[in-house]
Structure 1
Amino acid sequence: MNITYEEAVKRLDNVNVRPIHIIAAIIAALGGFLFGYDTGIIGSTLVYVTPFFHLTPLDVAILTSGTSIFAGIGALAAGPITDKYGRKSLLIIDGIMYAVFALLSALAFNSISLIVWRSLVGFAVGADTAIATAYIAEFSPKKWRGSLAITQQLMIFSGITASYWAGYILSFSENWRLMLGLGVIPAIILVGLRFLLPESPRWLLLNNKENIAKKVFNKFGALIRDDEIVMAPAKEPSFKEMFRNKAVTTAIIIVGIWLAFQQITGVNVILYYGPEIYKYLGIVGSTAILYTAISESLGAIEYAISFYLIDRWGRRKLGILGYAGLVVSWIIMLIGLRYFFSGILFIGVSLVFSAMTLFLLFFHVGVGGVGWVLQGETIPTEVRGRGAGILAAIDWFANAAIIFLFPIWETALGVYSFFGFELLLSIIAIIIVYLFLPETKGISLEQMSKAFEKGLTIQHSKSEDTTLPKSENININKKKN
Structure 2
Amino acid sequence: MTSPSCTAAQRDGAALRPVLGVTLVAALGGLLFGYDTGVISGALLAIESDFELSAFSSGVVVSSLLVGAMAGAAGAGGLADRHGRRPVLVAAAAIFTVGAVLAALAPSAVVLTAARVVLGLGIGVASNLVPVFIAELAPPRYRGRLVGLNQLMITFGIVLAYVANYALENVTHSWRWMFGLAALPALLFGIGMLLQPESPRWLALNSGQERARAVLARLRGHSDTAALQAELADMAATSTTRGNGARGAGRWRALTARSVRPAIVAGVGLQILGQASGVNTVIYYAPKIFQSSGLGSSSAILATVGVGVVNLLMTPVGMAAVDRFGRKKLLASGAAVMTAALAGLAATLAAGGQNSSCAWLAVLCVVVFVAAVATTLNVVVFIIPSELYPQRIRGTAMSATMFSNWTMNFVVSLTFLTLLDALGGPNTFALYAAVCALLTLFAIRRIPETRGKSLEEIERELASRTA
Would you call these one fold, judging by a TM-score over 0.5?
Answer: yes
- In structure 2, what residue type is equivalent to 1:141? P
Give the equivalent residue in structure 2 for 1:332: 344
2:316 is aligned to 304
**Counterpart in the other structure of 1:276:** 288
- Unpaired runs of 5+ residues, structure 2, are 1-7
For residues 224-276 of structure 1, the C-alpha deviation after alignment (integer angstroms, 9 at most, x for no partner) is 85997976843222325523432322211211111112212112101100111
- The answer to whether the 8 A contact 1:259-1:371 is kept is yes
Give 1:473's aligned residue: none
Q: Name the amino acid aligned to 2:65.
A: T
What per-residue deviation string (whole Å, max 9, x for no partner) do you get for residues 133-190 of structure 1?
1111111111111111111110011000110011011112261111111111111111
Structure 1 residues 190 and 61, CA gap change in structure 2 (3 angstroms): same
Which residue of 96, 99, 102 corresponds with 2:97? 99
Partner of 1:210: 209
2: CA distance, partners of 1:428 / 1:13: 41
Contact 1:339 1:347 in 2 (8 A): no
Output the CA distance in 1 between the equivalents of 2:278 and 2:342: 10
1:62-108 Cα distance to aligned partner (Å, 9 max, x none): 22222112201111100110011111111111011111111101111
User: Match of 2:190, as an amino acid?
Assistant: V
- Aligned residue for 1:126? 124
C-alpha distance 273-455 of structure 1, shift in aligned 2 (>3 A) = farther
CA distance in 2, matches of 1:135, 1:266: 28
Over the aligned positions, Cα root-mean-square deviation in angstroms equals 2.3
CA drift at 1:336: 2.2
CA shift, 1:131, in A, is 0.8
Within the alignment, does 1:163 sit opposite 2:154 as a pair? Answer: no
Deviation of residue 31 (structure 1)? 0.7
In structure 2, the partner of 1:380 is 390
C-alpha distance 405-333 of structure 1, shift in aligned 2 (>3 A): same
Equivalent residues in 2 for 1:128-147, closer than 5 Å? 128-147=126-145
The CA deviation string for residues 182-208 of structure 1, in whole angstroms up to 9 with x for no partner, is 111111111121112111011111113
Which deviates more from structure 2 when the two are superposed, residues 155-164 or residues 110-119? 110-119
CA distance in 1, matches of 2:224, 2:314: 38
In the alignment, the residues of structure 1 paired with residue 356 and residue 365 of structure 2 have an alpha-carbon distance, to the nearest angstrom, of: 14
Task: Verify: 1:323 aligned to 2:335, yes or no.
Answer: yes
TM-fit CA distance, 1:223: 4.5
Provide Cα deviations, 1:318-355, integer angstroms capped at 9, x if missing partner: 001211121121122123213421x5x12211111111
Q: Which residue is equivalent to 2:370?
A: 360
1:396 Cα shift?
A: 0.7
Q: Take 1:257 and 1:118, find their aligned partners in 2: how far apart are those partners?
A: 27
Equivalent residue, structure 2, for 1:425: 435
Q: Structure 2 vs 1, CA of residues 274 and 244 (structure 1 numbering), >3 Å: closer, same or farther?
A: closer
Q: Is the 8 A contact 2:103 2:111 kept in 1?
A: yes
Q: Which residue of 2 aligns with 1:460?
A: none
Contact 1:331 1:423 in 2 (8 A): yes
Q: Who is 1:475 aligned against?
A: none
| Contact residue 335 and residue 436 of structure 2 kept, 8 A | yes
1:427-466 Cα shifts (integer Å, max 9, x gaps): 111111112211111221112134434779xxxxxxxxxx
- Normalising by structure 2, we get a TM-score of 0.90
Q: Distance in 1 between matches of 2:296 and 2:360?
A: 16
* In 1: Cα distance, 2:441 partner to 2:364 partner: 25
Paired position in structure 1 for 2:414: 404
Specify the alignment match of 1:476 in structure 2.
Answer: none
More helix by share: 2
Q: 2:424 aligns with which of 401, 414, 419?
A: 414
Match of 1:437 among 428, 447, 455: 447
User: How much has 1:14 moved relative to structure 2?
Assistant: 6.9
Residue matched to 1:468: none
The amino acid that maps onto 1:206 is L
Distance in 1 between residues matched to 2:97 and 2:301, nearest whole Å: 25
Matched, 1:189 2:201: no
Q: Unmatched 5+ residue regions in structure 1? A: 1-10, 457-479
Q: Does residue 300 of structure 2 align to residue 291 of structure 1?
A: no
Q: Tell me which residue corresponds to 1:199.
A: 198
1:38 aligned onto 2:36: yes
CA distance in 1, matches of 2:264, 2:252: 14
Pick closer, same or farther for the CA change 1:429–1:13 going to 2, 3 Å.
farther
Task: Name the CA shift for 1:338/1:412 in 2 (closer, same or farther; >3 Å).
Answer: closer
2:274 aligns with 262
Q: Number of residues paired by the alignment?
A: 445
Structure 2 contact 31–154 (Cα < 8 Å) conserved: yes
Distance in 2 between residues matched to 1:452 and 1:13, nearest whole Å: 29
Q: Does the aligned pair in 2 maintain the 1:63–1:118 contact within 8 Å?
A: yes
Write the distance in 2 (CA, Å) between the matches of 1:247 and 1:196.
37
C-alpha displacement of 1:279: 2.2
Paired letter, 2:323: D
Matching residue of 1:26: 24
Residues in 2 aligned to 1:451 and 1:301: alpha-carbon distance in whole angstroms: 35
The answer on whether the counterparts of 1:30 and 1:155 sit within 8 Å (CA) in structure 2 is yes
- Say yes or no: does 1:346 pair with 2:344: no
Q: Report if aligned partners of 2:16, 2:139 keep a CA contact under 8 Å in 1.
A: no
SS in 1 for 2:44: helix
Instruction: Kindly indicate whether the alpha-carbon contact (under 8 Å) linking 1:336 and 1:350 is maintained by their aligned counterparts in 2.
Output: no
Where do 1:452-463 residues align within 5 Å? 452-453=462-463
Query: Could you tell me how far apart the structure 2 residues matched to 1:57 and 1:279 are?
Result: 16
* Residue of structure 2 equivalent to 1:253: 265
Query: Partners of 1:346 and 1:204 in 2: how far apart?
Result: 59
Conservation of the 8 A alpha-carbon contact between 1:12 and 1:220: no
Measure, in 2, the Cα distance between the counterparts of 1:143 and 1:363: 24
Instruction: Give the 3 Å change call, closer, same or farther, for CA 406–168 of structure 1 in structure 2.
Output: same
Indicate the SS of the match to 2:168: helix
Deviation at 1:119, TM superposition (A): 1.2
Distance in 2 of aligned mates of 1:155 and 1:300: 8
AA of the residue aligned to 1:393:
F
Partner of 2:109: 111
Counterpart of 2:37, as a letter, is T
Q: Give the TM-score, by structure 1 length.
A: 0.87
Q: Secondary structure at the match of 1:298?
A: helix
Provide the rounded CA distance (Å) in 2 between the counterparts of 1:72 and 1:190: 21
